[in-house]
């Protein structure tokens, strides 16, 4: 099973957009690989529509989407056609056909206690091919696409600014849309921060909880 901070496994997969070579094909871009239990199921259909409605927002932050299940390519194609015809939404991102289960086994997507279908998993991969975030959902609960988009934005901001992101950012209950400065590395830095907080030169609750605007 792939873990956080590890390189996304190299693989060549078949999809509705043809053969994909991962993660090389998306080098220089973020991408999200998300597995769903099965085509032609209600919760999965709502998720695909929700992902597609955010497709352009993901593109704007240099992030691609890739779906996956153990269904065959023809099933994916027919399902995508059904979504377009019946719901009026065109799915623009590729869907991997893992009908032999090879990708799912490699990625830890088959939980035998829950059946032979792929679980609702999300892998966020950075431009260097490193897995940065993993989410798992049960079959009966659909994903929150806004949270996945928020998480990618938070990771990108953290990488760019060298900061940490608070809960519910950018609407945190304590510090609003501000971000957290990494902890002090030694006693001297800690005391200097505390003094700056007292003088109003830094914002914070204590030397270990300092924040700022970005």
- Rounded to whole angstroms, the Cα distance separating 183 from 208 reads 5
Tell me the percentage of the chain whose pLDDT exceeds 70: 98
Range of the domain at 189: 162-214
pLDDT at 115 over 70: no
Which two three-digit tokens encode residue 92?
A: 């623009």
Residues 20 and 107 in one domain: yes
Q: Is residue 171 part of a domain?
A: yes
Do both 137 and 44 map to the same domain?
yes
Spell out a b/e string for 124-155, using b for 16 or more CB atoms within 10 Å of the CB, else e.
bbbbebebbbebebebeebbebeebbbbbbbb
Helix (H), strand (E) at residue 88: none
Domain with 168 in it: what CATH number? 3.30.1020.10
The answer to whether residue 187 scores a pLDDT higher than 70 is yes
Least confident range from 43-47, 54-58, 122-126, 137-141: namely: 137-141
**pLDDT at position 113, please?**
67
Would 211 be classed as within a structural domain?
yes
Residues 56 and 117 in one domain: yes
| Same domain flag for 15 and 95 | yes
How many structural domains are present in the chain?
Answer: 2
Asked whether residue 148 is assigned to any structural domain, the reply reads no
Instruction: Provide DSSP, 137-199.
Output: E-TTS---HHHHHHHHHHHHHHHHHT-B--TTTTSBTTTBT-EEPPPPSSHHHHHHHHHHHHH
**Whether 99 and 59 share a structural domain:** yes
Express each pLDDT in 132-178 by its tens digit: 999 999 889 999 999 999 999 999 999 999 999 999 999 999 999 99
Which pairing describes strands 131-137 and 120-125: parallel, antiparallel, or unpaired?
A: antiparallel
- What proportion of the chain, given as a percentage, has pLDDT over 90? 88
Span 69-78, mean pLDDT? Answer: 96
Active site residues: 44
48: pLDDT strictly greater than 80: yes
127 with 210, same domain: the answer is: no
* Whether 30 and 122 share a structural domain: yes
The pLDDT, as a whole number, for residue 139 is 86
Hey, what are 87's tokens?
Answer: 């719901």
Give dist(CA 200, CA 30) in Å, integer: 38
Same domain, 124 and 209: no
- The CATH number of residue 57's host domain is 3.40.30.10
Whether 126 and 175 map to the same domain: the answer is no
Mean pLDDT of the chain: 95
Say yes or no to pLDDT of 100 above 80: yes
Where among 112, 143, 174 does a domain terminate? 143
Residue 112's pLDDT band, with cuts at 50, 70 and 90, is low
Query: Is 4 part of any domain?
Result: no
* pTM of the full structure: 0.93
């Amino acid at each position: 099973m792939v873990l956080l901070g590890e390189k996304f496994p190299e693989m060549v997969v078949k999809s509705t957009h043809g053969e994909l070579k991962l993660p090389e094909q998306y080098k220089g871009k973020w991408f999200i690989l998300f597995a769903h239990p099965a085509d032609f199921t209600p919760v999965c259909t709502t998720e695909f529509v929700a992902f597609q409605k955010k497709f352009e927002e993901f593109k704007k932050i240099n992030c691609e989407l890739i779906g996956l299940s153990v269904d065959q390519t023809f099933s994916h194609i027919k399902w995508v056609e059904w979504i377009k015809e019946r719901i009026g939404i065109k799915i623009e991102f590729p869907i991997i056909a893992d009908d032999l289960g090879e990708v799912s086994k490699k990625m830890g997507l088959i939980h035998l206690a829950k059946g032979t279908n792929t679980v609702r998993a999300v892998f966020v991969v950075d431009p260097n091919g490193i897995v940065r975030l993993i989410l798992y959902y049960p079959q009966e609960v659909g994903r929150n696409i806004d949270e996945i988009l928020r998480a990618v934005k938070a990771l990108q901001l953290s990488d760019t600014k060298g900061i940490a992101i608070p809960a519910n950012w950018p609407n945190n209950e304590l510090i609003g849309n501000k971000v957290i400065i990494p902890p002090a590395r030694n006693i001297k830095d800690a005391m200097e921060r505390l003094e700056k907080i007292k003088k109003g030169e830094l914002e914070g609750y204590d030397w270990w909880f300092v924040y700022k605007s970005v």
